[in-house]
């Protein structure tokens, strides 16, 4: 596993934990607002990491992978919200 995939996996894990906390502790519109903030934060983390790092290779690719994983995780939490 390359360093890039490790960073992506850590961000996905953070999204999962934050989404789970939002799912368990918030209700209604506040929960969906938190999901949106989590999604924005995951992309911002990748952007900031590449901003302060000396290597900017595959920035867009990493943002796409993080975005896709984040959307998938938050879509599952949204589906669980709509079911419950």
What tokens appear for 25 in the block?
């502790």
Domain ranges of the chain: 3-83
Q: What pLDDT, in 10s, does the model give residues 1-60?
A: 577 888 889 999 999 999 999 999 998 899 999 999 999 999 898 888 877 776 667 777
- pTM for the model stands at 0.85
- For residue 35 the two structure tokens come to 């999901």
Residue 70 vs residue 84, higher pLDDT = 70
CA distances from 33 to 2, 17, 28, 63 (A): 33, 16, 9, 21
């Amino acid at each position: 596993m390359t360093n890039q995939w490790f960073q992506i996996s850590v961000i996905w894990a953070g999204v999962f934990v934050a989404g789970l906390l939002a799912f368990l502790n918030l209700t209604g519109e506040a929960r969906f607002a938190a999901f949106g903030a989590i999604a924005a934060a995951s992309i911002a983390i990748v952007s900031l990491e590449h901003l302060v790092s000396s290597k900017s290779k595959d920035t867009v690719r990493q943002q796409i992978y993080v975005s896709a994983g984040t959307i998938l995780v938050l879509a599952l939490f949204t589906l669980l919200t709509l079911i419950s």
